[in-house]
Structure 1
Amino acid sequence: MWTSLQKLFQKHVSERSVAALHWMSDGCTLIVLSQDKLSLRCTFRRSLMFQNNDWLRPLQKLLAELPPVQQMTVTLAPEFYQLVQLDKPEVPENELKAALRWQLKDLVSFEPGDMQFDYIDLPGAHQQQSRLQVVVSSQRMLRPLVHCLHSARVPVKTILPEEWVLKNLLPAQTQPVLLLSQRVGQDLSIMILRAGRVCFSRRVRGLPSPEQLSLDSLHQGYLDALSLEVQRSVDYFEGQLKQAPVRQLVLAINTALQADIAGFFRQLGFAEVQQLQFSQWLPELDLQQQAQFATSLAAALEYESTAEQEVGYENAS
């Protein structure tokens, strides 16, 4: 997971190929991006649904179809981890994880001996104490999945939460960008990114899942509730963290009404509102189908250079 795993099997490939597995409670998506000279393309994609947590044999069969890759990233859906923001303990770096484990035992539902966790630094005003975003998961939950991948000789590089890979769907920019994302069956995610880093993130409960949205529901409370949560996040980022104003918003909501949502935020005064699309890598799919592979694609892009991502998004726009 957050501790890099030793390469389990070295495969010889003629081009750089990286795989990404998005692991969810009811299924998974798997994608491979391959780079040959200056061309970056999707060479393999699959989606798989599970029933009654019976995932082992279907996953084994899927992995048997996987072409040779140099490394894989596994991304966990939110149901498998908890995110916590806290002040960074004032201890030497080599004692930080021990100090965090002591703090986390009262903040998350995992037992201390079962916790697998890592952290990233969050921006703040110079006079404020440094803060961390910590992601915590269960070793007992991860172990069978890692064992399955190990047995299939898949070269796993790392395991990450969704929030830490979605930043790869946007080119790094000096000004903050707010990313709204939501897939079917999940809570809405609000993230603020800058210079390729996660500066702020939170999940919003209580809003309808994308498949429940209709044009009437948009204008009968959904958009008002959504804009309120966005404004709260922006106010905290700009006011409490004393960061630059947020003027750009990007949507990755799995609904055919995404254009209507974009128009609403333009009317609210955002200077630039975009709908995220992945046509460069998944040209044969419509926007809603592309959204199914968004997290897998973001994780695969973890290993591409910033320049390559920027070229890709220029071509997709």
Structure 2
Amino acid sequence: MKIPSITLFKTKSHDAGWFAIGLGLHGIYLAKVRLAGAMPRVERCEYHETGTVTAALLEKLRREADIDDHDVATLLAPGEYQLLLVEAPNVPVDEMKTAVRWKIKDGLNYHIDDATVDMVRIPASKYSSGRPQSLYAIAAANNIIRERIGMFEQAKLALNVIDIPEMAQRNIAALFESDDRALVVMTFDDFGGLLTFTAGGELYLSRRIEINVGQLLDANENLRQQYRDRVETELHRSLDYFDRQYNHLPVDMVLVCVPDNTGLVEFLASAMDTRVQKLDLSQVMDISAVPALADSEFVAHSLPTLGAALRKESRVL
């Protein structure tokens, strides 16, 4: 069976928005966003508790949710792909993907011939012309891609794109960005924490944090404080690294998406020199049709799927 590549960029216009389907540990997230108008309008954002996610459950949801006539995107979970930062090979564009495959082959957990690979360029600074350009290589095992495509085919869902949380988070961040400044977004869900640095709608830096939302909500206050301290340390390190690599891009602020009762936003706001605020979707999106998005815990879990529904690339790498 031929394995289609993970397509991060398509030429087709999607102003009407995507129907994004996220597979959680115990259920399915659905999101639909309309991009026309003054700000994106969330038409749907919901979670369906299913236990183990199967093609039969997806098909049932397809019928109930009336997804048939929509472009569909889904997300890989963190353990289903690798994101590798590499120096861009000095080759013609049409040879880039082959060169990148060769470059990352020793960093994969499986043979390169068994990998589906795509890439995202990191914008070069006009102030560092001598520095080689970097890119992120996205690699997933063919069997992972095959299983995901097969599940959606069995559910009679026309899957257009397989995306990753980093790019979905970049879509969310782009709504909050200020000109000529970088934005940090930090999110936590069942899979752990994700820290991204973006500017101008582009992803510059991404780091995983091995702390999940359940740990930040632990009943033991001493443990919760240990987790908060670890998050602070990782944020400090990442800010320092970003400043060394991209000192032409000052960081505007850090937006944190986490349940309110973790106390993490308040803790970081008092501990960091950089401005830290809660990520508030109502500032940049019309969420009036989905009252559940007023709940911080629901937002924390559904944000990756919501970000995937914001996808609107119109260029090709």
Displacement after TM superposition at 1:79 (Å): 1.4
Q: For the residues of structure 2 that align with 1:5 and 1:302, how far apart are their CA atoms?
A: 9
Displacement after TM superposition at 1:35 (Å): 6.5
Partner of 1:11: none
Give structure 1 stretches of 5+ with no counterpart: 7-14, 306-317
Aligned partners of 1:19 and 1:69 also within 8 Å? no
**Quick one: structure 1 residues 206 and 153, their matched pair in 2 at CA, closer, same or farther if it must change by over 3 Å?**
closer
Partner of 2:189: 183
1:65-111 Cα shifts (integer Å, max 9, x gaps) = 23244311111110111111111111111111111112222101132
**Quick one: structure 1 residues 206 and 16, their matched pair in 2 at CA, closer, same or farther if it must change by over 3 Å?**
closer
Amino acid at match of 1:302: R
1:237-265 Cα shifts (integer Å, max 9, x gaps) = 111343423240100124622xx322222
**Quick one: structure 1 residues 34 and 177, their matched pair in 2 at CA, closer, same or farther if it must change by over 3 Å?**
closer
Is 2:295 the partner of 1:283? no
Give the TM-score, by structure 2 length. Answer: 0.80
Aligned partners of 1:18 and 1:69 also within 8 Å? no
Partner of 2:6: 2
Q: For the residues of structure 2 that align with 1:16 and 1:63, how far apart are their CA atoms?
A: 19
**CA RMSD, Structure 1 to Structure 2 (Å):** 2.9
Partner of 1:41: 42
Partner of 2:61: 62
- Percent identity among equivalent residues? 22
1:1-317 correspondence to structure 2 within 5 Å: 2-3=6-7, 16=16, 18-24=18-24, 26-34=26-34, 40-43=41-44, 45-51=46-52, 55-67=54-66, 68-123=68-123, 125-170=128-173, 171=175, 172-174=177-179, 175-184=181-190, 186-205=191-210, 209-212=215-218, 215-219=221-225, 221-254=226-259, 256-257=261-262, 260-278=263-281, 280-281=286-287, 282-285=290-293, 286-303=295-312
Aligned length: 291
Give the TM-score, by structure 1 length. Answer: 0.80
Give structure 2 stretches of 5+ with no counterpart: none
Q: For the residues of structure 1 that align with 2:103 and 2:78, how far apart are their CA atoms?
A: 21
Displacement after TM superposition at 1:273 (Å): 2.1
Displacement after TM superposition at 1:118 (Å): 0.8
**Quick one: structure 1 residues 213 and 179, their matched pair in 2 at CA, closer, same or farther if it must change by over 3 Å?**
farther
Deviating above 4 A after TM superposition, structure 1's stretches of 4 or more consecutive aligned residues are 34-39
Query: Does 19-28 or 155-164 show the bigger shift?
Result: 19-28
SS at match of 1:29: strand
Query: Does 71-80 or 269-278 show the bigger shift?
Result: 269-278
Q: For the residues of structure 2 that align with 1:157 and 1:262, how far apart are their CA atoms?
A: 36
Q: Which has the higher contact order (CA 8 A, sep 6+)?
A: 2
Amino acid at match of 1:3: T
